[in-house]
A and B are shown apart, each in its own frame.
Chain A
Amino acid sequence: MTQPLILIIEDEASLRRFLVPTLANHDYQVLTAATGSDGLAMARSHNPDIILLDLGLPDLDGGEVLRSLRQWSRKPILVISARAQEKEKVQALDLGADDYLTKPFGAEELLARIRVALRHATQAVADLPVLQCGGLRLDLERREVSMDGNPVRLTPLEYRLLEALAQRAGKVATHAQLLNEVWGPVGEGQTHYLRIYMGTLRRKIEPDATRPRYLLTEPSIGYRLNVE
């Protein structure tokens, strides 16, 4: 397999200086753009396998760049943003970004997110009828859940919630996305539905519900099914 091509759209030179060698050292080809318009042009001409997009660009709003990319590209997009930009992150995720990284971040975290995003891009979930992470086993075809080999009895809503998270295994799922997939239009804005069901789901799956290993909370944003 050829080396995946990564496009970094980031205006801060120091961050690019850290990203480029780190990624190149892990067998990725790297392209960089310092502005949103350059980034869009390079994305069109090179069709990268994954895009790292900073939300605080000087020329274009991150949301705009994301929207124009999503008009023609289904390739994974990771957004990078500062802390306390929760609203922008949620907006970007709901607009079709695959995941996010909060500055400052370490190299390990970055590489893990890129791995997950690329794996999702190459393998549709339907190809994986059985999801195994740690002791948790989820058989999407037979609708069976087990923990360390013992079957776990879930209610229909709990199962749908777990299924929705599994569709994005390893990636973040926003509150709005989960509510829409599990409850449909009636769930809009009812974040406490999610909290209640996530609570019961954790009690059934997690060995210690206050130290979740599988169902991680992304504060103010959503949840993530941990596959690492």
Chain B
Amino acid sequence: MGKFKEGGPLPDPLPETAQPILVALGSEARTLRLVHTGFRMAREQGCPWVAVHVAVPGWETAVEADQARVWLQEAEEMGAGTAWVKAATVCDGLIEEGGRCGASQVVMGADRPRGPWDRLEHSRAQEALRRSLGVRIVTVPLDPPLPRAAAARSGADLLGLVLAVGVILGMCSVFAAALAVVAGFPGIPPVFALGVGYIAHRWGRAFSAPATAAALALYGLLFVPALPLRPGDWSNGLYLAATLVVAQMVVLLVDRLAQETRSLHRREAETMLLTVLGRALGRCATAREVAAVLAERALGLFQAQAWLMVPGPDDTWLHLPEVPEAPPCPRPSELLPRFGGAFHRDDPFEPLFLDSCSFVALAGQGGSEGLLGLRLEEGRPMLQESWGLFQSLAVQGALALERVRWLEEAHQARLDTESERLRNTLLGAVSHDLRTPLAAIQGAATSLLLPDPLPEATRLDLLAMIRDESERLARLLGDLLELTRLQSGGITAQKEWQLLDEVVGSALQRLEARSGPLPIQVDLPQDLPLVPLDGALMEQVLINLLGNALRHAPLSPVQLRAWEEPGSVQLEIADRGPGIPAEFHQRVFHKFFRMQRDRKDGGVGLGLAICGAIVDIHGGAIWVEDRPGGGARFRISLPLDGVPPSPPEIDTQPMTLETLP
């Protein structure tokens, strides 16, 4: 049975005297009540408490699991130890965790049982827990989040109801008769009043009037003839009527109380929804994620499909998430003004109905962020109370969207500032490095143009200087452009499956074209896999690294090795130069960073920054280590993601004249 801890302090080192309270958390919104109960009980009893979520494979969606984590986190913030247990049934999981932490009590939520089977099932599970752990079980009733729809009863329901009313009144009659006969108690009317009151409370006031009539009729039929009828006896009937009226009044008051309780529950549910929603939305970084959270919540709350519509390019709607059969909707420029007046009013909630869909504006502080659409299934109208929830959803969604937009704007602003800063640094750092070769070129050219003829050797020397310095200028400019484009996100790696041999080969080709053969030892295994990389960019990385190594260790060979590791290919370029002090291992990859000893060698400190940026857009890593025995060792790790393409048709037979096409 797999098990792992979800963050936070483990409940292991508990004081031995206090046995913890184990609180079983679910994933639905009402779970918050369990968290509060656990917290309160632990406070009252002065013992630790452990919140546990039992994940039953196949019974929970990823979103529900996420939600359960949120509750565990909430419990943790309230001082609970937390545990996440995977088990075949909730009961098994609780037994396991309860045994592990030595719980004395188990707190669990219970829905009101829907029927005798539920009741039996619940008690059986509790019994199993009690037996195997020897603990006290505390159940916390979790009321449904919304009152069930009272309207729209089907015919079968109605028949059952009439039967139930009949049975109750019948029982009242029998009881009243028994009282009258056995005890000679004449209080028949209060018994009926009790029955009618119960009916009214149980099924609503609408049923109390027919029930009253039925009670009167029963009374007249069953009891009036049985009593000695005297002229003054009508007072008995009056007594019944008065009692029934009082019962009605009581029912009215009770009903009002019940309504208030219901609305309290609803408000609680709303508060919980907002807590959950706020947390979920707070984690969203894009409009798409906001939309996913809203859709998920709407599905849970209203069993209805919800989606977000934001104005896209060309005056079209962008649906998030994609809605397969979105109703044809007027264009944003047409539709949004219809909500227009509502945006800055206190109550922006004015749904618009199109086909079977309802739309509300997501009105943020700065105007409308878009629309929230909701498609209700046919024959499942939304309750009046649910509109309130829908509104909460829309308001929270609008706030989240606004936050996301601000985040993006802030990010953009940061980028702009950063690139401005980069430009300034660049200009400052580069102007000197640009001027030096230019001064040399200018000087050499003007001397060559002087009327007095120069000795042939000097002339050639000056010309070679012009060539070298202009090459240096070209390299510097190329590097600058490359780095700027890389860091502004203007270059993406055009990854293709490549043989490392070829990339290394063309890097050597370019290096040696400048200077002739170089002391570079290459060791590439023949069975190295194809690597997804951008050949031109990676060649640049190799040229920079090899160039550096050769410059710092001109007397000993530079070694280039590569090998495969699970999921990646590793490259290593090692030299026997002076090495890089450990405190600079990170900073050498920063732009314009040069160590004191390199100030004179004509570089500007861009080469390694370029390498870092290129490896970065490949999703790889680059770092430098001390080479055992002296020198520096640069390492590159390139991910082998995706499936390498299968080699083309097998072609290993040596050629003969016949096999040729």
Contacts and interface: CB of A to CB of B under 8 A. Distances in A.
Contacts of A187: 648
Interface stretch (A118-126, A129-137, A188-196): A188-196
B480 interface: no
Given A219-B535, A220-B535, A199 B502 contact: yes
Interface in A45-102: 83-84, 86
Given A155-B651, A192-B496, A198 B502 contact: yes
Given A156-B661, A159-B655, A219-B506, A210 B648 contact: no
A26 interface: no
Given A192-B530, A210-B524, A217 B654 contact: no
A164 interface: no
A157 B651 contact: yes
B655 to A, nearest CB: 5
Given A86-B536, A191-B496, A195-B498, A210 B508 contact: yes
B651 A156 contact: yes
B655 A196 contact: no
Contact of A209 (B505, B512, B651, B655): B505
A13 B502 CA distance: 38
A207 interface: no
A83 B505 CA distance: 20
Nearest to B535: A219
Contact of A195 (B467, B497, B524, B660): B497
A220 B648 contact: no
B113 interface: no
Interface string A197-215: 1110011000011111000
A143 interface: yes
Nearest to A196: B647
B478 A83 contact: yes
B652 interface: yes
Nearest to A218: B506
A193 B501 contact: no
B449 to A, nearest CB: 15
A195 B499 contact: yes
A217 B505 contact: yes
Nearest to B485: A84
Contacts of B526: 203
B538 to A, nearest CB: 9
B657 interface: yes
Contacts of A210: 501, 504-505, 508, 522, 524
Interface string B505-529: 1101100100000000010101000
B655 A219 contact: no
Contacts of B512: 211
A214 to B, nearest CB: 12
Contacts of A156: 651, 653, 655, 659-661
B501 A199 contact: yes
Interface string A101-115: 000101000000000
A110 to B, nearest CB: 14
Interface in B441-485: 467, 470, 474, 478, 481
Contacts of B522: 208, 210-211
Contacts of B651: 155-158, 197
B575 interface: no
Contacts of A28: none
A203 B524 CA distance: 12
Interface string B635-661: 000000000010111011111010111
A165 to B, nearest CB: 15
A153 to B, nearest CB: 4
B270 interface: no
Contacts of B501: 199, 202, 209-210
A153 B508 CA distance: 27
B539 interface: yes
A212 B501 CA distance: 10
B505 A212 contact: yes
A108 B648 CA distance: 39
Contacts of A83: 478
B35 to A, nearest CB: 56
Nearest to B649: A157
A219 B648 contact: no
Contacts of A203: 526
B50 to A, nearest CB: 55
A58 B539 CA distance: 32
Nearest to B524: A210
Contacts of A158: 651, 655
A147 interface: no
Given A192-B497, A198-B502, A211-B512, 18 more contacts: A143-B655, A153-B655, A156-B651, A159-B660, A187-B648, A192-B496, A192-B498, A196-B648, A197-B651, A203-B526, A208-B522, A209-B501, A209-B505, A210-B505, A210-B508, A217-B502, A217-B506, A217-B509
23 contacts: A104-B470, A143-B655, A155-B651, A156-B659, A157-B648, A158-B655, A159-B655, A159-B660, A187-B648, A195-B502, A195-B530, A196-B648, A197-B648, A198-B499, A199-B501, A202-B505, A208-B522, A211-B508, A216-B509, A219-B535, A219-B536, A219-B539, A220-B494
| For the complex of A and B, 6 pairs with smallest distance between CB atoms | A217-B506, A153-B654, A192-B497, A193-B648, A210-B522, A157-B651
